[in-house]
Amino acid sequence: MEILEILLLIFLNTELSPFSIGRSLLYLVGLFFIFRKCGVQGWWALIPWARDYKLGVCAGREPEGRGLCILSFLTTIASLVARYIDPQSNFGLFMSFVAFFLLLLDLFYQIRVYLGLIEVFGREKWWILPWVLAEALVAPLWGLLPQFKPLWTVQQIQSEAANFFSGSKAKVLDNGLTVNLEERTATEFFKKKYLLRDIHMYIQPGHMVLLLGGSGAGKTTYLNAVNGYEKAKAEVVLNGTNMYKHYKEMQYDIGFVPQLDLMRGSDSVFRTLMDAASLRLPKDFSKADRQARVEEVMKIFGLTPVKDNLVVKLSGGQRKRLSIAMEFISNPSLFILDEPDSGLDGVMARELFQQLRKIADQGKIIIVITHTPDRVIDLFDDVIVLAKDAKRTGRLAYFGPIEEARTFFGKEKMEEIVKSVNREEEGGEGRADEFILKYAEVQHG
């Protein structure tokens, strides 16, 4: 009987009771089919400890899977030793403490692996509770039901593109914008997660640049890294000055217009711009100087006729122009706009982008995110295309002139280019890795 108990503890990680054995068998059946769905041979589910590692591989969390494998082995050993010693002895009490500590660590790594599996299967994070509390029921549910399928397989996670890095950097010049972004990370449950990696480019003065990418590709994260709002491991140089090292001096040389404005509806257009001038212009500017700059900016953006109107009374297009004018007060060299045409009809949107084109023609750099690029694409010089690789990290799939982008992707419309790099489950063609590698090859000549 003791040998049977030991074998059950090793192979099924369970006690000698019908309920415990049945629960463990259900879990292993579920793992068998989950492994197969993820591109791993199902029989790994039958191998003690190794199955924990393979589950981590399926979840895209190989380091955690390795840790879970080691902890499962140590926990089994501790449980076996505890069977043959007096629990009241000093050694017995020590082993009880060791076993408890190992169980806590084991739970931590299990949660990490389960969170990764939830992400791979494209499910909501609340699934972590069923996985932790009833894994014997959830595993066969996910393994056997066809509606539970992974968004990508182990082979895709380990694809060439996901592990490829160019090793090259854009040349830093005295004029224009140079971005050499090695990585932008975030911490999720004590684990570093890569949001962006290996993005290098040089943008010339006077260029208006379209930023494309599917949902989650990292467009806003990229813009925040460029303007210094969320610093990355990167070198960002504007007109010869490193923006990260000299952020305070450079912050008003960058105009950033978010999708949602923060203007007070009870203020007039003139008052709103005067407040912006007080914040953004040098302290040695007199009130007359600030007012002159405000009058100039209102004329540029066609706001002079409504200078005394309250913000709350403005039309959608006027409000957008006002939000841009606030940033333009300090005459920045770099203008970044996140969906400035959101909520505008085609005519109003085109008028807005024509205004941005005029600003770019003054030698400014304009970078814009828009979800309807094709109606104004003739106004842009270049396009940046970000795409999620197999590890769900934002990567550079293309940067360059609009016409060359059409040739590169074999697509006429910008929206078709986005579709080509989006995943199939997102309604795309799933060719992100292909274009990430293709662009890297073009860059290396």
pLDDT band at 163; cut points 50, 70, 90: low
Distance of CA 414 to the CA centre of its chain: 21
Residue type (1 letter), 434: E
Cβ burial of 52 (10 Å; 0-12, 13-18, 19+) is buried
pLDDT for res 19:
62
Domain boundary assignment for the chain: 2-150, 160-443
Q: How far apart are the first and last CA of the chain?
A: 69
Residue length of the chain: 445
**Bridge partners for 284 per DSSP:** none
Number of Cβ within 10 Å of residue 76's Cβ equals 18
User: Has residue 142 got a pLDDT over 90?
Assistant: yes
CA nearest to 32, candidates 58, 6, 13, 10 = 58
**Residue 22 and residue 131 in contact, taking contact as beta carbons nearer than 8 Å:** no
Quick one: which of 7, 388, 55 has its CA closest to 212? 388
Taking only the tens place, the pLDDT of each residue in 3-53 is: 655 555 555 565 556 666 777 888 889 999 999 999 899 999 888 888 899
160-443: CATH topology:
Rossmann fold (3.40.50)
Pick the more confident residue, 167 or 96: 96
pLDDT at site 207: 96
Across 121-125, 213-217, 411-415, least confident range: 213-217
Q: What is the CB neighbour count within 10 angstroms for residue 388?
A: 25
Give the pLDDT confidence of 388-405 residue by residue, as tens digits: 887 788 999 999 999 999
Mean of pLDDT values over 168-193: 81
pTM for the predicted model, two decimal places = 0.71
CB 211 within 8 A of CB 340: no
Rounded to an integer, the average pLDDT of 76-97 is 71
* Cα-based torsion angle of the residue sequence 231, 234, 238, 242 in order, rounded to the nearest 10 degrees: 90
- 3 state SS of 376: coil
The token pair that represents 40 in the structure block: 């791993």
What contacts 30, CB < 8 A, 6 or more positions away?
Answer: 136, 138, 139, 140, 141, 142, 143, 144
Of the ranges 69-78, 163-172, 375-384, which one carries the lowest mean pLDDT score? 163-172
User: Is 284's pLDDT higher than 90?
Assistant: no
Alpha-helix runs per DSSP H in 301-431: 316-328, 346-360, 402-409, 414-421
Distance (Å, rounded) from C-alpha 305 to C-alpha 291?
16
Q: Does the structure show a pLDDT above 90 at 180? A: yes
* Residues 6 or more apart in contact with residue 372 via CB below 8 angstroms: 341, 349
The phi and psi torsions of 195 (rounded to 5 degrees) equal -95, -40
DSSP state of 56: H
User: What per-residue confidence (pLDDT) applies to 331?
Assistant: 86
Q: Is residue 311 within 8 Å of residue 319, measured between CB atoms?
A: yes
Judged against a pLDDT cut of 80, whether residue 158 lies above it is answered with no
Q: Using CA atoms, how far apart are residues 305 and 299, in angstroms rounded to an integer?
A: 9
What is the average per-residue pLDDT within 251-266? 80
Letter string b/e over residues 294-316, b meaning 16 or more CB atoms within 10 A of that residue's CB: beebbebbebeebbebebeebee
Q: Which two tokens stand for residue 426?
A: 């997102």
Average pLDDT for 186-193: 66
Name the more confident of 333 and 424.
333
| Encoded tokens for 200 | 């290098």
Contact, 421 vs 383, CB < 8 A? no
SS3 call for 212: strand
pLDDT over threshold 70, residue 162: no
Cβ atoms 93, 81 nearer than 8 A: no
- Section 413-420 average pLDDT: 94
Query: Which residues in 354-375 are b (16+ Cβ under 10 Å) and which e?
Result: ebbbebbeeebbbbbbbeebee
Band (pLDDT 50/70/90 cuts) for residue 186 is confident
pLDDT, average across residues 406-423: 93
pLDDT tens, 297-335? 898 888 899 888 888 888 878 888 888 888 888 888 999
**What is the pLDDT at residue 1?**
41
